[in-house]
Amino acid sequence: MIRFDHVSKQYSGTTRPALNAINLEVLRGEFVFLVGASGSGKSSCLRLILKEEKPSKGKIHVLGQDLGTISSRKVPYFRRNIGVVFQDFRLLPNKTVFENVAFTLQVIGKSRGFIQEAVPDVLKMVGLDGKAARRPHELSGGEQQRVAIARAVVNKPQVLLADEPTGNLDPATSAGIMAVLERINAGGTTVLMATHEAGIVDQMKRRVIELVNGQIVRDERHGGYGFTAAIPTAHIAVADEPADTVTRDTAPTRLPLHQATGPVPPLTRAPSAPQHAQAAEPAPQYEPAPQHEPALRHEPAPQSTPVPQYEQVEPEPPFEQPQPDPQYEPVPASAPSDTGQTRLSAHFAAPPTQPVIRPRLTDHELPEQLSLAEKLGLRAPGRDEDPGEQNVGPTK
């Protein structure tokens, strides 16, 4: 499903690779945490998977495709199979919950009928039934992240990348978000989540890949958060051992540093994690979904992918029927019209829907300057007609 072969990434103007000879394989249906100190390379991994960055060395395969062979023109289509959730939600502030989620489908040309069915379904799945008509500022942080998740999975992607999705949320709200992510994973979607949340990682006992200075130092099947991941600096001495000699069957790790790994109280935040309290939404009970146990050896993915089945969760308040929007006309995938033109730099300058904890301007060498809609696979590149509503926050 996702494979890195000796992948290195060195950003221009830097002296040290962000990722250094990474070998990695994620199988269909896995739930994988990427942990590591700030600057250890977690987001770089996710950006490479999304083909938002190119590796300096090595090869990356995602969903059976060699990313090096996907042309810029095809990137948005490739990204339709990958949902992305960020720490800062990135909702469209002037659109309702329903419209935020529908926008994804509109841009890829889904019919109005499809949208009218799919959006309420996914909102129900993330626990937002009854909130379809609200705008982002009328939601709690946790609810906004649920909208972002709904938007990321409404098209039933095979992979969901989550970059610190609970980084702006309090522990109780984070637990609710994790329950949603587990449900999505239980439906068959492969989930990769970069996080600093020690409590979540320790509690969920899923596969944990730990990065130190751009190298994988631990790959554990039912891992905990670990020790070095909690250190708020990336400059941790790495043992001489080559990064790729640590396999996921090695438990806990070969590095003495990690033998200090111990239980962490549930849902505590690691020292390096941003402190930012959101008003807690009513905390759903955190019930881990049944564990997926994919085979450890790589097996070729079947041609047809099981479509995630979303289940309803949590008792809901009375459903508010979203107002049918006459604008919801099918948009041809080849010529989306209700799309954003705003370039990345403008996105980063625009105010986020929530305070951003650790904004980082990504003026790095994108393979091509794509708008956010393009980056998320929402429209073909080069379509500059813009409703001007891609008013989203900075990336990290």
Should residue 43 be labelled a site residue for ligand ATP when binding is judged by CB under 6 A? Answer: yes
The identity of residue 186, as a single letter, is: A
Interior angle at CA 51, CA 50 and CA 56, nearest 5: 130
The identity of residue 178, as a single letter, is: M
DSSP string, 23-51: EEEE-TT-EEEEEESTTSSHHHHHHHHTT
CB of 19 to ligand ATP, least distance (A): 8
Q: Are 301 and 28 in contact (CB under 8 A)?
A: yes
Specify the residue, 274 or 288, whose C-beta has the smaller distance to ligand ATP.
274
* Burial classification of residue 295, based on how many CB atoms lie within 10 Å of its CB (0-12 exposed, 13-18 middle, 19 or more buried): exposed
Should residue 54 be labelled a site residue for ligand ATP when binding is judged by CB under 6 A? Answer: no
Specify the residue, 343 or 364, whose C-beta has the smaller distance to ligand ATP.
364
Question: In the set 40, 145, 390, 395, which binds ligand ATP (CB under 6 A)?
Answer: 40
Specify the residue, 179 or 194, whose C-beta has the smaller distance to ligand ATP.
194
Q: What is the dihedral of CA 303, 192, 106, 94, to 10 degrees?
A: 180
Should residue 396 be labelled a site residue for ligand ATP when binding is judged by CB under 6 A? Answer: yes
Question: In the set 1, 2, 7, 18, which binds ligand ATP (CB under 6 A)?
Answer: 18
CB of 231 to ligand ATP, least distance (A): 11
Q: Are 68 and 7 in contact (CB under 8 A)?
A: no
Given the rule CB under 6 A, which of 32-40, 119-127, 139-147, 340-348 is the region that contacts ligand ATP?
32-40
- Structure tokens of 338? 């209700």
Q: What is the dihedral of CA 182, 188, 192, 193, to 10 degrees?
A: -20
Specify the residue, 125 or 177, whose C-beta has the smaller distance to ligand ATP.
177
CB of 39 to ligand ATP, least distance (A): 4
Residues 349-378 contacting ligand ATP, CB under 6 A: 362, 364
Question: In the set 5, 8, 25, 38, which binds ligand ATP (CB under 6 A)?
Answer: 38
Should residue 213 be labelled a site residue for ligand ATP when binding is judged by CB under 6 A? Answer: no
Cβ atoms within 10 Å of 288's Cβ, excluding its own: 14
DSSP string, 111-123: -HHHHHHHHHHHH
Whole-angstrom Cα distance, residue 60 to residue 24?
9
Should residue 39 be labelled a site residue for ligand ATP when binding is judged by CB under 6 A? Answer: yes
Given the rule CB under 6 A, which of 39-47, 111-119, 246-254, 327-335 is the region that contacts ligand ATP?
39-47
Given the rule CB under 6 A, which of 38-46, 74-82, 114-122, 149-157 is the region that contacts ligand ATP?
38-46
Whole-angstrom Cα distance, residue 1 to residue 29?
9
Interior angle at CA 211, CA 207 and CA 215, nearest 5: 120
Given the rule CB under 6 A, which of 42-50, 247-255, 280-288, 345-353 is the region that contacts ligand ATP?
42-50
Residues 187-206 contacting ligand ATP, CB under 6 A: 194
Should residue 223 be labelled a site residue for ligand ATP when binding is judged by CB under 6 A? Answer: no
Tell me which residue has its CB nearest to ligand ATP. 364
Chain contacts with ligand ATP (rule: CB under 6 A)? 11, 14, 18, 36, 38-44, 194, 234, 362, 364, 396
